[in-house]
Amino acid sequence: LEKVLSFDWLYDWDDPDVTVGYRLLFDFMSLASQNQKHRAIFHDWTAGWVKLLKEALDEGVAAGQFSIDDTESAAKAISAIYQGMATRWNLDPEAHSTEWALSSVRSVITRFLGMSP
């Protein structure tokens, strides 16, 4: 579970990689919506995140911590949760604080996995 929830660094205003990274992500998403080559690169980037999460979920299933039939689909959903929360946190920080993002991600993902937050 801790591996699945280990991406809290995505919500750190003091991390220069986060600040630059979101600007690049949003610009790239815009390009990907209009260009097949950029869309393929975005797919590869997303697939990398899904792979990391799937590996953590597979470990949890093997250890009996999670009861998930399709870890790839679950990893895609968790990746989308992270990305959606991060988008709100980054673009509307007045209404979506760091505290909100961190607690919401943890709560939503643990509930999605059938666990108590």
Report the predicted TM-score, pTM, of the whole model to 2 decimal places.
0.92
Cα separation, 64 vs 12, whole angstroms:
32
pLDDT of residue 19: 85
Phi, psi of 42, deg, nearest 5: -60, -40
Confidence of residue 49 (pLDDT cuts 50, 70, 90): very high
Question: How does pLDDT run across 71-100, given as a tens digit for each residue?
Answer: 999 999 999 999 999 999 999 999 999 999
Confidence (pLDDT) at 32 = 94
- Asked if the model's pLDDT at residue 117 lies above 90, the reply is no
Which whole number is the average pLDDT over 48-70?
96
Compute the average pLDDT of residues 3-18: 92
Contact between 7 and 56 under an 8 Å Cβ cutoff? The reply is: no
pLDDT > 70 fraction of the chain, expressed in percent and rounded: 99
Cα gap 99→89, rounded to integer Å: 10
Any residues with CB less than 8 A from the CB of 88 and at least 6 apart, and which?
95, 96, 101
